[in-house]
Amino acid sequence: MNKVKELAKMIDHSILHPTMTDEDLKRECAVAAKYDVASVCVKPYAVKQAVELLKGTDVLVGCVIGFPAGNSAIEVKVFEADLACKDGAVEIDMVINVAKALQGDWDYIEKEIGAITETCHKNKAIVKVIFETDYVIRKEDIIKLCEICTKVGTDYVKTSSGFGFVKQPNGDYNYIGATIENLKLMKASSGPKVKVKAAGGVRSLDGLLAVQEAGCERCGATATVTILEDAKKRFGS
């Protein structure tokens, strides 16, 4: 596999902004197919459409659950994941209950992640667990989440939703997303069967190469075209 193809197969092409319409979905699925990325990551109602649009390609269809804030009850997240799988999603990116993690209610977190992992695996789908590291910022909490994900058998740990906006001192909202420090910590704190996905703020070829170097096997991206066109220039197509 050449370098450009290798990098393309790291990318989960995100089609998640609340304003994105069915026409946007069609356009972005065409981008995903053209560049032969690993997957698209779509909103729950769009799974069936994405499956149809990507039929005959090697691009997988993934779906977000409890997105973006993670506040749904466990039973709702389980139902949402099960429905997404039945609609054709083969990858599920779930947001944890952030507040429960921040208050150290690890029994709840283990029950939640375990229930959704069981549902996904029953449907032969993989699950990626979003920690939202702009909110869950303490290293000991990130380590604990990795340990829980390892224990219950999730497939990936993931940094961010890309929508974990934090109010800044000037009143603006922004987020950091994936950092190399957190990615290395997550890699070191997870079992050998658990992979790492970077998400949030990776918008350039150098950014993608950096998260790959940090041990990531997947990366969420909206700047897919820019990243892969730059990769073609640097490494040849």
pLDDT digits (tens, 9 = 90+) for 146-178: 999 999 999 999 999 999 999 988 999 988 999
The per-residue pLDDT for 236 is: 85
If you average pLDDT over every residue of the chain, what do you get? 97
Asked if residue 95 lies in contact with residue 132, where contact means CB atoms within 8 angstroms, the answer is yes
Residue 23 belongs to what domain range? 3-235
Distance CA 12, CA 4 (A): 15
| pLDDT(1) > 70 | no
The per-residue pLDDT for 139 is: 98
Distance CA 113, CA 96 (A): 7
Least trusted range by pLDDT, from 58-62, 90-94, 128-132, 173-177: 173-177
pLDDT digits (tens, 9 = 90+) for 3-61: 999 999 999 999 999 999 999 999 999 999 999 999 999 999 999 999 999 999 999 99
Indicate which CATH number applies to the domain containing 207: 3.20.20.70
Percentage of the chain with pLDDT > 90?
Answer: 95
| pLDDT(237) > 80 | no
Instruction: Report the domain count for the chain.
Output: 1
DSSP class per residue in 52-116: HHTTTSS-EEEEEESTTT--S-HHHHHHHHHHHHHTT-SEEEEE--HHHHHTT-HHHHHHHHHHH
| pLDDT(100) > 90 | yes
- Assess whether the previous peptide bond of 44 is cis (omega < 30° from 0): no
Report the largest interatomic distance among the alpha carbons of the chain, rounded to a whole angstrom: 49
Once rounded to an integer, what is the mean pLDDT over residues 135-145?
A: 97
Q: 174: helix, coil or strand?
A: strand
DSSP 46: G
Distance CA 70, CA 61 (A): 21
Higher pLDDT, residue 201 or 237: 201
Distance CA 223, CA 24 (A): 14
The per-residue pLDDT for 117 is: 98
Positions marked catalytic:
93, 158, 197
